[in-house]
């Protein structure tokens, strides 16, 4: 999985919203530092990486639009003629 895949992105958001498991206990005033985690959200990308990602999305949407508009739909008109003559 790439850092920008939808499932990884959603997982990173869910991890950010989970309560921390390293909170101090009631009688303990010291906290352990959390290890530095790799940031997987789009907010951590630099400007060039974000532009590349958006260009890829735009290109994929253009390809999808082209694919949807070039595939014609055909209807068997003989079935329609049979219905209209029986009326």
What DSSP string runs through 63-76?
A: HHHHHHHHS-----
Residue 26 lies in a domain: no
Predicted pLDDT of residue 17: 61
Give the count of domains, the chain. 1
Range of the domain at 51: 44-69
pLDDT score, position 38: 63
Of 30, 4, 34, nearest to 20 (Cα)? Answer: 34
pLDDT for 67 equals: 81
Q: Is residue 84 part of a domain?
A: no
Report the pLDDT value the prediction gives residue 49, as an integer from 0 to 100: 83
Q: Is residue 21 part of a domain?
A: no
What is the pTM for the complete model shown?
0.34
Residue 50 lies in a domain: yes
Number of Cβ within a 10 Å radius of residue 8: 14
The DSSP secondary-structure symbol of 43 reads: G
Please report how many Cα atoms fall inside a 13 Å half-sphere around the Cα of residue 12, on the Cβ side.
Answer: 17
CA atoms of 80 and 86, how far apart (whole Å): 10
Mean pLDDT by 10 residues, the chain (87 residues): 62 66 47 56 76 88 85 67 65
């Amino acid at each position: 999985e790439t850092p920008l895949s939808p499932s990884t992105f959603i997982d990173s958001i869910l991890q950010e919203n989970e309560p921390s498991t390293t909170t101090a206990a009631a009688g303990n005033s010291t906290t352990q530092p959390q290890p530095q985690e790799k940031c997987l959200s789009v907010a951590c990308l630099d400007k060039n990486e974000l532009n590349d990602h958006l260009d890829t999305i735009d290109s994929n949407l253009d390809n999808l639009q082209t694919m949807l508009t070039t595939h014609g739909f055909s209807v068997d008109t003989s079935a329609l003629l049979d219905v209209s003559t029986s009326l």
